[in-house]
């Protein structure tokens, strides 16, 4: 079942989500919710979806960056984005620690703000402690594009959207991004947008 995705301006996207208990995680409701979130993520399509984005203020997110999503990118673009496939997994009650400064510049989009994108500086490396779909502890050390996805989705659980962290001069429609910015390197983007606003 595909769920409705909340759009920017809806209060739920600005609400800090609450943690789940182990009992809740193991409930039929949460198991079903995870499966519906997975279907919604695939249908969108996207690489991450947080429960607040479907109107539910819980510390729950699903992530998957399929290899097929990379087909539209050239080998050079994949290397530039430092992007590799990430298998489907669930994060419950995650805690994020940045292991590097937020100085990697690249465009991001969001299922809750369709049709737009902007440059968001993110940390290259992060560590995440969380529970999985069974309520078991997981420890994730992530780098590059995967680290960006984690920062974006965990932000949603705190009521934060990428536009809160974006370089405002870079905000663009997807059409103009594809026309003017898609082929640019990270260094190009840093030179273009890192000047004081």
Q: CATH code at 167?
A: 3.90.45.10
Task: Judge contact between 96 and 154, C-beta under 8 A.
Answer: yes
**Cα first-last separation, the chain:** 43
Alpha carbon distance 91, 59 (integer Å): 8
Q: Confirm whether 182 is domain-assigned.
A: yes
Catalytic residue among 153, 175, 190, 197: 153
- For the chain, what is the domain count? 1
Confidence band of 165 (pLDDT split at 50, 70, 90) = very high
pLDDT at 28 over 90: yes
Residue 2 lies in a domain: no
In a domain, 172, yes or no: yes
Rounded to whole angstroms, what are the CA distances from 168 to 19, 101, 119, 188?
32, 19, 8, 16
* Within-domain flag for 177: yes
For the question of residue 153 being annotated catalytic, the response is: yes
* pLDDT tens for each residue of 125-139: 999 999 999 999 999
13: pLDDT confidence band, cut at 50, 70 and 90? very high
pTM of the model: 0.94
Residue 197 located in a structural domain = no
Would the pLDDT of 109 be above 90?
A: yes
Q: What is the DSSP annotation of 71-104?
A: TTS-HHHHHHHT---EEEEEEEEEEEEESS-S-E
Mean per-residue pLDDT, 96-120 = 96
Average pLDDT over residues 130-154: 98
Q: Reduced to 3 states, what is the DSSP secondary structure of residue 116?
A: strand
| Cα–Cα dist 90/100, whole Å | 24
3 lies in a domain?
Answer: no
Pairing, β 137-143 against β 125-131? antiparallel
Residue range(s) defining the domain that contains residue 155? 11-190
State the pLDDT at residue 195: 59
In a domain, 4, yes or no: no
pLDDT of residue 197: 52
6 within domain boundaries: no
């Amino acid at each position: 079942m595909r769920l409705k995705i909340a759009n920017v301006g809806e209060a739920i996207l600005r609400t800090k989500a609450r943690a789940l208990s182990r009992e809740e995680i193991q409930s039929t409701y949460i198991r079903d919710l995870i499966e519906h979130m997975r279907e919604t993520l695939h249908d969108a399509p996207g690489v991450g979806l947080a429960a607040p984005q479907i109107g539910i203020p819980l510390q729950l997110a699903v992530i998957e960056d399929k290899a097929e999503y990379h087909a539209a990118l050239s080998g050079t673009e994949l290397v530039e984005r430092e992007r590799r496939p990430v298998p489907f997994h669930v994060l419950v009650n995650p805690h994020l620690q940045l292991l590097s400064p937020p100085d990697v510049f690249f465009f991001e989009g969001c299922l809750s703000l369709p049709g737009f994108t902007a440059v968001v500086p993110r940390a290259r490396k992060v560590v995440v402690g969380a529970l999985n779909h069974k309520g078991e502890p997981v420890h994730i050390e992530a780098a590059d594009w995967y680290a960006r996805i984690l920062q974006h989705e965990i932000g949603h659980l705190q009521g934060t959207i990428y536009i809160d962290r974006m370089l405002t001069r870079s905000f663009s429609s997807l059409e103009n991004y594809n026309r003017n910015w898609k082929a640019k390197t990270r260094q190009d983007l840093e030179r273009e947008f890192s000047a004081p606003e």
